[in-house]
Amino acid sequence: MLQIATHPRWAFEQLFAGSPEFKTMKPYIPNGLNMKHLGLFMNETFSGRLTEDKIKAIRDKWKGNLVIKGIVNPDDAERAIKLGAKGGDQALQILKRQVQQVMEQVGCEKIEDFPKHLINN
């Protein structure tokens, strides 16, 4: 609500723009299906944790750059690289090194311990 109050022009533009669309997804939606169907497909396909098998299936169908969001530890970064995350290999390597350095600096062996460590120190 605060953003609407502080950005009234944007709020009115969004109000009159109509329903949001995933324009980049439209070419992949079969004729006759609408955004509701896409939402149902996304919920069914991507429910739960993203697994290596799900990423492999996406990689097999999608030959463009693959970006995997939610990488929080070196092991995830390594798996993403092995699964064919393209265009981000360098970024993933950098992220892996940075996560390792931060964890070493704060004395954490597990990423789950990091927030607890911040609170206690």
| 36, pLDDT greater than 60 | yes
Structure-model confidence comparison of residues 44 and 60, the more confident one = 60
pLDDT digits (tens, 9 = 90+) for 75-113: 777 788 888 876 455 666 777 777 778 778 878 877 777
The answer to whether residues 41 and 54 belong to one domain is no
The answer to whether residues 27 and 79 belong to one domain is no
The answer to whether residues 105 and 79 belong to one domain is yes
The answer to whether residues 113 and 76 belong to one domain is yes
Question: Using alpha carbons only, what angle is made at residue 110 by residues 50 and 69, rounded to the nearest 5 degrees?
Answer: 30
Q: What is the pTM of this model?
A: 0.39
Structure-model confidence comparison of residues 33 and 55, the more confident one = 55
The enclosing H or E element of 18 equals none
Q: Which domain holds residue 25?
A: 1-47
Determine the angle formed by the axes of helices 74-82 and 89-106, rounding to 10 degrees.
160
User: What pLDDT does 87 receive?
Assistant: 46
* Residue 70, amino acid: G
The answer to whether residues 120 and 65 belong to one domain is yes
The answer to whether residues 20 and 8 belong to one domain is yes
Structure-model confidence comparison of residues 105 and 41, the more confident one = 105
User: What pLDDT does 46 receive?
Assistant: 67
Rounded distance between C-alpha atoms, residue 74 and residue 16, angstroms: 44
The residues, ordered by sequence, that sit 6+ positions from 69 with a Cβ below 8 Å of its Cβ are none
The answer to whether residues 29 and 74 belong to one domain is no
| Residue keyed to tokens 């070419």 | 27
pLDDT digits (tens, 9 = 90+) for 1-30: 777 778 788 777 877 877 667 777 777 777
Average pLDDT of the residues in 30-51: 74
Structure-model confidence comparison of residues 48 and 66, the more confident one = 66
Question: Using alpha carbons only, what angle is made at residue 21 by residues 20 and 26, rounded to the nearest 5 degrees?
Answer: 175
The enclosing H or E element of 56 equals helix 52-61
